[in-house]
Amino acid sequence: MEQLEEKQPFDVIVIGAGAAGMMAAGTAARSGRRVLLIEKMEKSGRKVRITGKGRCNVTNARPAEEFADQVRTNAEFFKVAFSEFNNRAAIKFFERAGVKLDIERGDRVFPQSGKAWDIVNALLEFCVENGVKIIYNTRVTEILTLGDRVFGVKYINRRGFERKEECAQVILATGGVSYPATGSTGDGYAFAADLGHTIEPLRPSLTPLLSSHAQMRYLDKVLLRNVRATLYVDNEPVREEFGEIGFSDRGIEGAVALRMSRDAVDALIEEKRVKLVLDLKPALTEEVLHERIAREIAELQPNEFFGELLRKLVPKPLVMPLAQEVDIRANCYVGKITEEQITRLVRTLKGLTFPITDYAPFEYAVVTAGGVRCDEVNPYTMESLKVKGLYFAGEVLDIDANTGGYNLQIAFSTGRLAGSLKK
DSSP string spanning 47-76?
HHHHGGGGT---EE---HHHHHHTB-S-HH
Label the pairing between strands 12-15 and 35-38. parallel
DSSP structure string for 90-128: HHHHHHHTT--EEEEGGGEEEETT--THHHHHHHHHHHH
Residue 2 confidence (pLDDT)? 39
Q: How confident is the model at residue 4 (pLDDT cuts 50, 70, 90)?
A: very low
pLDDT tens string 12-52: 999 999 999 999 999 999 999 999 999 999 999 999 999 88
Neighbours of 157 (CB within 10 A): 14
pLDDT tens string 43-76: 999 999 998 889 999 999 999 999 999 999 999 9
Task: Confirm if 87 and 62 have CB atoms less than 8 A apart.
Answer: yes
How many Å from the N-terminal Cα to the C-terminal Cα in the chain?
33
pLDDT exceeds 80 at position 1: no
CATH number at residue 49: 3.50.50.60
Residue 156 φ then ψ, to 5°: -105, 120
pLDDT exceeds 70 at position 148: yes
The structure's pTM equals: 0.92
Residue 182 confidence (pLDDT)? 87
Cα(385)–Cα(148) distance, integer angstroms: 10
pLDDT exceeds 80 at position 3: no
**309, 328, 360 - which closes a domain:** 360
| Domain enclosing residue 228, as ranges | 208-360
pLDDT tens string 295-327: 999 999 999 999 999 999 999 989 999 999 999
Same domain, 168 and 65: yes
Same domain, 285 and 182: no
Same domain, 238 and 163: no
Same domain, 374 and 354: no
Task: Confirm if 339 and 309 have CB atoms less than 8 A apart.
Answer: no
